[in-house]
Structure 1
Amino acid sequence: MERFAEHIAHVDMDSFFVEVERRRRPELRGVPVVVAGLGGRGVVTSASYEARRAGVAAGMPTIHARRLCREARFLAPDHRAYAAASEEVFAVFAAFTPVVEAVSVDEAFLDIAGLRLAYPSPEAVGRAVRRGLMVQAGLPASVGLATSRLLAKLASRAAKPDGLRLISAGEETAFLHPLGVGDLWGVGEATRARLEELGVRTVGELAALPPGLLERRLGPSLGAHLLRLARAEGDRPVEASGPSRTISVEETFAADIAGRPALEEELLRLADRLAGRLRAAGVAARVLGLKVRFSDFTTIGRSRGLPDPVDTAQQVFRTALDLLDRAGVGLRRVRLLGLSAEHLDPTAAPRQLALEPSRWAEVEAAVGRARERFGRDAVRRARLAPAPRPPEPPLAK
């Protein structure tokens, strides 16, 4: 067997937000910690393994998490601290290999094939990466090693918490086939239900299906894709990217909102925040996404690729309105709205010039400088300014 055949590593930081908090507050180590929105309608962002054992999970309402784990320490998220810690993490990755594909602020694929002369085995690289993250960033991580991205990700999940797992070349199907079909990329609830109609619950059962049957039931593209994954074939290589492939903002409302005017106002507010974060990171987005969570916790998402990268609130807002139309929200009551920016390009990279150059970028950059100096509320969009108070009635004589 080829040495270093398992040249793809998936590194996933353990309870990242919680561990960043513990790094600066050591007294939190060993006790249940939950990072969450602390308002009456907040949701859990990250939970320590102590809290998870009590049933706390990301995405659940904070009020529910408090009932499940009354002894937990609940902390409001500090996204600036997490972004800074993410830069430290990706600096460690870059010290090992230039081929780093970011998945999120705390997760990445690494192609370690170029390290075969420096290390005796993929496991040695995995141990060195984990050690580097602990020594240089003070943060624990789990590492999976395999011949493909999917298997490396599944291996890191099996290694949690704070561990390492290698799936050796030649053992891919032995590891993969007992798993449920929901572990494959591209299998959501609807696809899983259709597979169960065929009597398929495990990856091995899926791999044994005739290709024609699967493609007739799921369509030629998805059917062929799932069959390749189930047989441990055809995964693409790791593609180098910047340290962050997604920047997102979201808001859980104190009370549900409904109706187009209210949704547009909140989307404008989110577009303003997202554009500010894009400019602060020095990047522009080629893909924008919308997330809507309704009052019954049903969540939908829509995304759109753009002909040119965008980094102004005006551009983000226009795209968000288009995505809102496509989502078909209607008059349903909305609990949460979110916007995300993906496929990020450095703003210094060459871009196609617009036929009619907009001054919005200059205006928003000036607004950003004013806010940095005088505070976020120093300059507000007129549409988002609070309504003026009516004049006081004259005092009776």
Structure 2
Amino acid sequence: MRERTIIHLNIVDFSVAVERLQDSSLRNRPLIIAPQAARATVYDMSEEAYQDGVRKGMGLIDARRRCRRARVLPPRPEQYEKAIQCCIRRVLPFSPLVERAHGQGHLYLDMTGSHRLFGPPPDIGWRIRNTLRNDLGLDPIWSIGPNKLIAKVGSRIVKPCGEYIVAQGEERAFLAPLPLSLLPTLKPHQYSRLRAVGLSRIGQAAALSRQELSVVCGRRADILYNSLHGIDPTPVQAPAHSGRRFFFQHYLAQDSNREEIIRSAVLSLAGQAGYALRRQKLACRKIIIKLLYSDGMSCERQAVKKLPVFLDHDLEQSAITALFRCWRRRVRIRSIGLCCRDIFPQIHQLSLFKSINQNNRKRKELNRTIDKIHELFGREKLYRGYTQ
């Protein structure tokens, strides 16, 4: 198998870094990014606030109690989106394979075979860091590994600043002494089960066979087994598949697990997503639903369409599918997030069946009318109803 060279860039506390670029007075003081809502949760926080005990997903009231010196700002996703797109444009000259990873401020670059153009991989890492720092004022940490998993763990080790390099063949030796919590693919319930049987290090869990691991962790044991041994064949995806995204969030007035309330909130988010996509003549293939429970646990699942969609009806179908893939607990839900991924320009494909074309035409006309009402009078003037 051909040796790969993957660079992982992590701009720590990305939204905080962007806010500090806009306002230099925010530097060197605790900063919390959270919506201006009665029951808001922390969207992001600075390192100073983190040291005081503030965590993502924590209730804002609790976060303020832990860090009284913190300044609280509302999140500005559109600004963060512009900033990450600027970062992508700066690193594309180094590699055509740039993937925007899960979470803000994370990028993967596949530098396999590029040493003849740019020199050794460590030199490339330094050049990319200097480019982002000099051009944009953003200072990323970076790590190099033979695959995405190892590169990701390497950047976690040096956070909040620094760099790390793992050579080909050193994956298992690198992972063995590290705590299990640093493994990105390890789910919370898997971590709890491994800790319950006295395992705390990656090397300890890697000593288990596939069968033993499946007894402890159940489903996805094969994926976890590969991760524990530093195996990750997933490719770095091109920008066309990992570029823009739209994110919308709804905070429930009270924590609830009533289906009609949760479903209504998801349909409202799908409507917001459809309106935003149609305004920019875009469509998406992937809808991700993220649930935040009242006990602080979260879960997200996705639904993918074969073709990009932009009508409310299609987005609602995907959103509801993702919701019920995600909603497996009886604990009450605090907030719901909806993310649109795999963004493409709108395409209009005719069906061979006349009835389907008529239905699509009616839905387009309905969405066009609803969009006009929203533009003239605001979104609060028209709501979608839900009946069982």
State the TM-score, normalizing by the size of structure 1: 0.83
Query: Partner of 1:44: helix, strand, or coil?
Result: coil
Residue 347 of structure 1 and its aligned partner are, at CA, apart by: 2.7
CA distance in 1, matches of 2:348, 2:146: 35
Are the counterparts in 1 of residues 374 and 382 from structure 2 also a CA contact under 8 Å? no
Post-superposition CA distance 1:247-267 (Å, at most 9, x none): 331111343355344333322
Residue 317, structure 1, aligned to residue 319, structure 2:
no
Q: 1:285 aligns to what? A: 284
Are the counterparts in 1 of residues 290 and 326 from structure 2 also a CA contact under 8 Å? no
- Share of identical aligned residues, percent? 27
Query: Partner of 2:16: helix, strand, or coil?
Result: helix
Are the counterparts in 2 of residues 290 and 302 from structure 1 also a CA contact under 8 Å? yes
More divergent stretch after superposition (222-231 vs 103-112):
222-231
Distance 1:364 1:96, change over 3 A: farther
Structure 2 residues not aligned, in runs of 5+: none
CA distance in 2, matches of 1:337, 1:37: 14
Query: Partner of 2:153: helix, strand, or coil?
Result: helix
Query: Partner of 2:283: helix, strand, or coil?
Result: strand
Are the counterparts in 2 of residues 6 and 167 from structure 1 also a CA contact under 8 Å? no
Post-superposition CA distance 1:40-64 (Å, at most 9, x none): 2111111111111111111111111
What is the aligned-residue RMSD (CA, Å)? 3.1
Post-superposition CA distance 1:291-335 (Å, at most 9, x none): 333444443444333343322222222333344455668996432
Q: 2:42 aligns to what? A: 44
Residue 145 of structure 1 and its aligned partner are, at CA, apart by: 0.8
Query: Partner of 1:38: helix, strand, or coil?
Result: coil
Post-superposition CA distance 1:1-21 (Å, at most 9, x none): x9xx66201111121111111
Q: Which amino acid aligns with 2:100?
A: A
Query: Partner of 1:113: helix, strand, or coil?
Result: coil
Q: Which amino acid aligns with 1:376?
A: G
Q: 1:61 aligns to what? A: 59
Are the counterparts in 1 of residues 129 and 139 from structure 2 also a CA contact under 8 Å? yes
Q: 1:244 aligns to what? A: 243
Identify which of 222, 225, 228 aligns with 2:223.
Answer: 225
Larger radius of gyration: 1
Q: 1:205 aligns to what? A: 204
CA distance in 1, matches of 2:91, 2:123: 15
Q: 1:387 aligns to what? A: none
CA distance in 1, matches of 2:225, 2:258: 43
Query: Partner of 2:101: helix, strand, or coil?
Result: strand
Distance 1:326 1:166, change over 3 A: closer
CA distance in 1, matches of 2:120, 2:317: 50
Q: Which amino acid aligns with 1:145?
A: I
Structure 1 residues not aligned, in runs of 5+: 385-397
CA distance in 1, matches of 2:278, 2:254: 31
Identify which of 32, 35, 38 aligns with 1:34.
Answer: 32
Alignment length (residue pairs): 378
CA distance in 2, matches of 1:30, 1:209: 45
CA distance in 2, matches of 1:301, 1:132: 34
Are the counterparts in 2 of residues 367 and 379 from structure 1 also a CA contact under 8 Å? no
State the TM-score, normalizing by the size of structure 2: 0.85
Distance 1:17 1:147, change over 3 A: same
Are the counterparts in 1 of residues 4 and 110 from structure 2 also a CA contact under 8 Å? no
